[in-house]
Amino acid sequence: MIRKAAAATLVGMALLLSFAGPSTAGAQGRELTCNTGVTNEGTYGFAHCVNHTNRAIAFRAKVVCGWEADHNGDWVTLNPGQEGWSGAWCNGPIGTGVGSVDWEEG
């Protein structure tokens, strides 16, 4: 019985992971195609975005930090076909590192 439950859990995890991927255009009404991540030491969160539209779009990373205040990266404007990065640090004296990263278009 335990083996069946473990197998079902593994299959469920495999299905979840197979559908997990980069955030894409159209998510929450957004137009850029972006990937978000955290550096290995866990204190810097970033968004890497590509503009596949026919107009300029600005974006910034929105980084959720642990015990310290959340931070936003600098605004970056991407012309059609361009890609760029925005990020922010979570390394204050009471920080516990990056909890999550998203991006905002504007």
CATH of the domain at 43: 2.60.40
User: Would you say residue 41 lies in a domain?
Assistant: yes
| pTM metric for this prediction | 0.73
Q: How far is the CA of 72 from the CAs of 19, 64, 68, 88, 102, in angstroms? A: 28, 9, 13, 6, 10
Confidence band (pLDDT; 50, 70, 90) for 27?
low
User: Would you say residue 9 lies in a domain?
Assistant: no
Task: Please check the confidence at residue 3 and state whether its pLDDT lies above 60.
Answer: no
Secondary structure letter of residue 72 according to DSSP: E
Task: Please check the confidence at residue 49 and state whether its pLDDT lies above 70.
Answer: yes
Name the phi and psi angles at 6, rounded to 5: -65, -40
Domain hosting residue 29, numbered range? 22-105
User: Would you say residue 97 lies in a domain?
Assistant: yes
pLDDT (tens digit, 9 = 90+) per residue, 59-70?
999 999 988 999
Residue carrying the six token digits 């974006």 = 59
Confidence band (pLDDT; 50, 70, 90) for 95?
confident
More confident residue, 34 or 24: 34
User: Would you say residue 43 lies in a domain?
Assistant: yes
Name the phi and psi angles at 14, rounded to 5: -65, -40
Segment 24-53 mean pLDDT: 89
Segment 12-41 mean pLDDT: 64
User: Would you say residue 101 lies in a domain?
Assistant: yes
First to last CA, the chain: 52
User: Would you say residue 85 lies in a domain?
Assistant: yes
The structural domain count of the chain equals 1
User: Would you say residue 55 lies in a domain?
Assistant: yes
Tell me the percentage of the chain whose pLDDT exceeds 90.
65
Return d(Cα 1, Cα 56) in angstroms, integer: 56
Q: Work out the number of other CB atoms within 10 angstroms of the CB of residue 64.
A: 15
